[in-house]
Structure 1
Amino acid sequence: MSLSDCVEKNKKWDNNNTKSLVLDNLIGEMIALEHLPFRFVECLGFVRLINRLCPSYNLKSRQYFTSFICEKLYGKVKDKIMELIKSFQKLALTTDIWSDSCSGVSLISFTCHGITNKYERKMIILKAEVFNDGRHTGENIAAKLETMLSSWGIPKENVLCIVRDGGTNMKKGISLLSIKNIDCLSHQIQLVVKEGLTSQESIIAAINKCKKIAPHFHHSNVAQDELVHLQEKLNQPKLEIIQECVTRWNSTFYMLERILKNKDSLCLYASTSNKISQLTSEEWILVEKLITLLQPFEEITRELSAANVSISIFHIMFD
């Protein structure tokens, strides 16, 4: 290797260099496709890898990739998505509003469902952004959804229907747009389940005891280790206690099912430590019956929540 070749090899590329731009694009796509944080490009391991594989490449900061992905890549992807949306003769939409407990903000989602000319089903998440338009009134929801439709060039007459939850504000908001809308079946099923679980005091008491048992093991490594020791002693599988989550469908079922599977070890733990409430024999029987009762609802909800679910599945389930 000549001296000039050696110098050229270790020389950093200019940011406008063709090879550098190709790597910029590949790194940006990797961040987007793998849902990586922008700070990933500044992590020591990634920096070492790039310097080893391509010493000539001048690795950019996370601010560069934030701008690159949000402006250049997003624009290219949006153009392709708009072409795909225009190919749908009719399309359906799903939308929801929820609160993020971590950030303390409300979010609204907007998803498109359609069939191409080649009869391929497509599901595209068009929006998931902060709902900062004041109260969640029907008028504000209608204005937000209309802005979303306009930003993607979707005429209201091309929308077959919008699937939403059963909130009166959502019903009013979509009705103001004069678009056909229907209740989310999974959401309706969960409302029925929730109403049924709060219909009797004995059920409420048993579930509340289980709700107090689960956090005890989640908040204490010592308690978790002791439970594992008891499971080994009783020749039971090492299963963690599942905690209920109010925003997760079927989580009450999963919590009760896991607690019943750990019945012997939990009873032994409660009798020796007095740190959790002991369920009575009647409550254990009730938990077992609740699991049997909730099992079909869990299966139906899981089927209806699948990415490839279609309207035909309703007839199979409910005929």
Structure 2
Amino acid sequence: MTNKNEQHNTTTTSSPSISKSTTTASSIPISDCGDKSPKQTDDADPMVIPLTSRHTSTTWTHFTRKRVGKEIKVECNYCNKQLTGGPRAGTSHLTEHANKCVKRKCLNIQQTRLFGTQAKDGGSNDTLSLAPYEFRQHKGRKDLAEMVILHEYPLTIVEHYGFRKYSNTLQPSFKVLLRNTTNKDIMQRYETEKEGISALLIKTNSMIALTTDMWTSSNQRKRYMAVTAHFIDNGWKLQSRTLRFLYVPTPHMVEVLTEHLKECIHSWNIDIRLSSITVDNCTTNDAMIDTLRQEFPYGSLMLHGYGLSAVIKNGLDRIRDIVAFWTASDKRNQKFEQVAKQVVPECTKKLQLDYKTRWNSTYDMLMVALNYKEVFVILSGRESLFKNLPLNED
């Protein structure tokens, strides 16, 4: 950005827009932009009325006071249009005319742009409105970095000929930087977002639950660890924030995964506020959690760090067995549905067996099975092979 005094010959352009100055009467930079009036006051003209000490506004540089008949008019020095110029007329209308006079060669660098709003129904009720516009190089750099992040563009896009030509057409004043500078802007955006999340976590009074999973990129076949924090903010709204997304080199041994997750927890200072860590059901994660359980305060973890499965495992296994039993064949399933229609006719959902590694499927299985609690009791007396009936506490 250059100083306004250095921008007197610069005109701001943008895609289809109409630019007009928006400065007030007391701030029109007449001398700054080198705007010379094409018509000088002619003392020999009997119609010209000289300015007095009351006419202090710089707006008067654009106009000449004249007497037309019995009225006092103000004539534009550029287009010769005459406007009201009596003692009580003020200068607001003069400033407005000076800012949009089509014959004035130089306008202020701070512009307004004509925005169009199209009717949602596709009709003809389009509206146009003027809004302030001022070019900012740093804002363009920020938006460019965000574009690369959102759409996963390669950093080299900023050096492509087509992209630079397109950017110059939209805004010639915008300087497209090199990829190294764009990379720095992206990292700066990351640090800004990280500071915001850190401040939110510090301000929040609730405990923090973590979920983590391994993710494999489709093109490079590299594996990454994603760590997400879940918590209730002080306004009682559920919040989720990604704390870490990092590349984990092979081999993906328990020690390596444990060290990365532990470093993430300590770097965000949430170890004493940690309530739970949810992972997929695999032997590597089981071993990782067993190791981490020794690293964090015993009292902060829910269920003393042993997880939900340790508390409901026996009951969950029994419910899973009866669902598997009654969905094992079409004959059993038909028999179950016949009894269900008589006992709970309002429920039409089918029994579904869960996937042990997906808690959402386990939740769905439990919610459906709960509706058929009485059906299971009745069938236990009619089917000799059905013996593993869930307990009331299950």
Tell me the TM-score normalised to structure 2 length.
0.42
* Equivalent residue for 2:261, pick from 121, 132, 145: 145
Partner of 1:73: 189
Q: Percent identity?
A: 22
Deviations 1:62-86 (Å, cap 9, x if unpaired)? 221112111x111111000111222
Structure 1 pair 146–46 and aligned structure 2 pair: CA distance change class (3 A): same
Structure 1 pair 79–5 and aligned structure 2 pair: CA distance change class (3 A): closer
Q: How far has the Cα of 1:146 moved from its partner?
A: 0.9
Q: How far has the Cα of 1:31 moved from its partner?
A: 2.6
Structure 1 pair 35–181 and aligned structure 2 pair: CA distance change class (3 A): farther
More helix by share: 1
Matched residue SS, 1:58: coil
* Contact in 1 for aligned 2:262/2:292 (Cα 8 Å): yes
Matched residue SS, 2:239: strand
Structure 1 pair 90–23 and aligned structure 2 pair: CA distance change class (3 A): same
Higher mean C-alpha displacement, 50-59 vs 92-101: 92-101
* Contact in 1 for aligned 2:210/2:230 (Cα 8 Å): yes
* Equivalent residue for 1:175, pick from 290, 315, 319: 290
Partner of 2:276: 161
Deviations 1:39-82 (Å, cap 9, x if unpaired)? 33334553233212211221112221112111x11111100011
Partner of 1:110: 227
Structure 1 pair 171–297 and aligned structure 2 pair: CA distance change class (3 A): closer
For 1:31 and 1:181, locate their aligned partners in 2 and report how far apart those are by CA, in whole Å.
42
For 1:115 and 1:99, locate their aligned partners in 2 and report how far apart those are by CA, in whole Å.
30
Q: How far has the Cα of 1:7 moved from its partner?
A: 5.4
Structure 1 pair 115–182 and aligned structure 2 pair: CA distance change class (3 A): same
* Contact in 2 for aligned 1:40/1:46 (Cα 8 Å): yes
Deviations 1:170-227 (Å, cap 9, x if unpaired)? 112122222536489xxx9xxx9xxx9xxxxxxxxxxxxxxxxxxxxxxxxxxxxxxx
Structure 1 pair 22–152 and aligned structure 2 pair: CA distance change class (3 A): same
Partner of 2:171: 54
Structure 1 pair 57–117 and aligned structure 2 pair: CA distance change class (3 A): same
Deviations 1:114-148 (Å, cap 9, x if unpaired)? 110111111112112111274412x3322211101
For 2:306 and 2:218, locate their aligned partners in 1 and report how far apart those are by CA, in whole Å.
28
* 1:42 matches 2:42: no
Unaligned runs of 5+ in 1: 11-17, 197-292, 306-310
Partner of 1:257: none
Partner of 1:244: none
Unaligned runs of 5+ in 2: 1-5, 13-134, 294-300, 310-315, 325-349, 371-394
Matched residue SS, 1:117: coil
* 1:304 matches 2:360: yes
Deviations 1:240-263 (Å, cap 9, x if unpaired)? xxxxxxxxxxxxxxxxxxxxxxxx
For 2:368 and 2:275, locate their aligned partners in 1 and report how far apart those are by CA, in whole Å.
23
For 2:274 and 2:244, locate their aligned partners in 1 and report how far apart those are by CA, in whole Å.
16
Aligned length: 196
For 1:183 and 1:40, locate their aligned partners in 2 and report how far apart those are by CA, in whole Å.
48
Structure 1 pair 130–183 and aligned structure 2 pair: CA distance change class (3 A): farther
* Contact in 2 for aligned 1:164/1:181 (Cα 8 Å): no
Structure 1 pair 87–314 and aligned structure 2 pair: CA distance change class (3 A): farther
- Describe how 1:84-99 pairs up with structure 2 within 5 A: 84-88=200-204, 89-99=206-216
Tell me the TM-score normalised to structure 1 length.
0.50
